[in-house]
Amino acid sequence: MGVCPRLERPYGRFLPTTYPADEILAHENALAEENTDSTDDPGHIVKGGKKSTGSEKVSDTPEGITYLDYETFLSVELRVGKIVDVKEHPNADKLYVVAIDDGNDENRIVCAGLKEYYSAEDMVGMNVVFVANLKPRKLRGVMSEGMMLAADDGEGQVKLVTIDGDISPGSLVR
């Protein structure tokens, strides 16, 4: 059996050892500093997420929630729109094609997966909040020019975010 030089005791069997609290705290603090990610460091890893390129400007919390920085949040343009028409999506069972008066000359077309939660008739006339500067993209063959906001309780209840009272279509949400 050899001798452990640090403890000057034989090793190879269990020997209970105590260490001073200040040594333990110093060691834990050193480990914590080594494991701290910086959000300014390109390629940092967000808990539960994928590897970041560094341009997203996000940070993580112990709960795994990803936060946007303030400048990124300000870049999202939320506006009020009045739903003027709702039609069945020609290529999707769960989608509506919604025409929204956004205060401009032409109505904005938004595809929305709300068939399970709303009838088309119930949606017409609602003042809803939508993302106005979302890049348009085709959803099952129909160009969608934004996204309406909705709340989802995770138990099958989904409700559109609406504005109480009358306000001009196109009004900015702050």
CB atoms inside a 10 Å sphere around CB 130? 25
Sites in the chain below the pLDDT cut of 70: 1-24, 27, 29-62
**What integer pLDDT is reported at residue 13 of this predicted model?**
54
Task: For residues 81 and 101, give the distance between their C-alpha atoms in angstroms, rounded to a whole number.
Answer: 5
Task: For residues 85 and 76, give the distance between their C-alpha atoms in angstroms, rounded to a whole number.
Answer: 25
Q: Which residue has the tokens 């910086």?
A: 38
In a domain, 138, yes or no: yes
Whether residue 113 is found in the same domain as residue 130: yes
In a domain, 112, yes or no: yes
**What integer pLDDT is reported at residue 5 of this predicted model?**
58
In a domain, 107, yes or no: yes
**What integer pLDDT is reported at residue 132 of this predicted model?**
92
The tokens describing 56, both together, are 């997203």
What residue numbers bound the domain in which 53 lies? Answer: 37-75
pTM higher than 0.75: no
In a domain, 141, yes or no: yes
Structural domain total, the chain: 2
